[in-house]
């Protein structure tokens, strides 16, 4: 199926997928924001997911993310789907694995498009599909000593 856009010529001439990674090192908002820089983009949306100190009313004392070996390939498939559906100039997504602390960055995604509306929609689809489809699992330990796996 061929995608048609309201604004012809808004797709990037080069591959708009600029940065995709699953890492066990701290994430950088600046790295992701820089990756989606494009002179033809009038709107850039950046989403940063951080580790919070609670979930479902319970205090979180520890959190760890792990991923399946196919996670980066699934992340690419997710990004390609967003690029196919929206006039994306540039896209980047990075997710952290390993043990994280409250306040740490868990995921950073960004999308640049010629217009802000497209950037907002594409960014929402990217983060929602990443959370739903990419095999990354969260293990939470609560302050009362109970534990929970999310997404497993």
pLDDT by residue for the chain (152 residues), tens only, comes to 334 445 544 666 589 999 999 999 999 999 999 999 999 999 999 999 999 999 989 999 889 999 999 999 999 999 999 999 999 999 999 999 999 999 999 999 999 999 999 999 999 999 999 999 999 999 999 999 999 998 76
Residue 7, domain member (yes or no): no
Domain count of the fold of the chain:
1
Residue 20, domain member (yes or no): no
Residue 38, domain member (yes or no): yes
- Which CATH number fits the domain that encloses residue 118? 3.90.1170.40
Q: Where in the sequence is the domain holding 53, given as residue range(s)? A: 28-150
For residue 110, with 0-12 CB atoms within 10 Å meaning exposed, 13-18 middle and 19 or more buried, which class applies? buried
Residue 1, domain member (yes or no): no
Q: What is the 3-state secondary structure (H, E, C) of 5-62?
A: CCCCCCCCCCCCEEEEEEECCCCCHHHHHHHCCCCCCCEEEEEEEECCCEECCEEEEE
Residue 5, domain member (yes or no): no
> For residues 53 and 35, what is the distance between their CA atoms, to the nearest angstrom?
30
């Amino acid at each position: 199926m061929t995608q048609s856009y309201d604004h012809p010529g808004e797709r990037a001439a080069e591959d708009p997928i600029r940065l995709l990674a699953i890492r066990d090192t701290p994430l950088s908002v600046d790295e992701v924001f820089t990756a989606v820089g494009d002179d033809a983009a009038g709107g850039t949306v950046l989403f940063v997911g951080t580790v919070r100190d609670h979930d479902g009313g319970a205090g979180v004392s520890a959190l760890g993310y792990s991923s399946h070996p196919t996670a980066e390939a699934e992340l690419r498939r997710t990004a390609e789907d967003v690029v196919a559906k929206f006039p994306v100039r540039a896209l980047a997504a990075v997710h952290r694995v390993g043990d994280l602390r409250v306040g740490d960055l868990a995921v950073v995604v960004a999308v640049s498009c010629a217009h802000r509306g497209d950037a907002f929609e594409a960014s929402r689809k990217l983060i929602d599909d990443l959370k739903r489809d990419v095999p990354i699992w969260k293990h939470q330990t609560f302050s009362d000593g109970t534990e929970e796996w999310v997404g497993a």
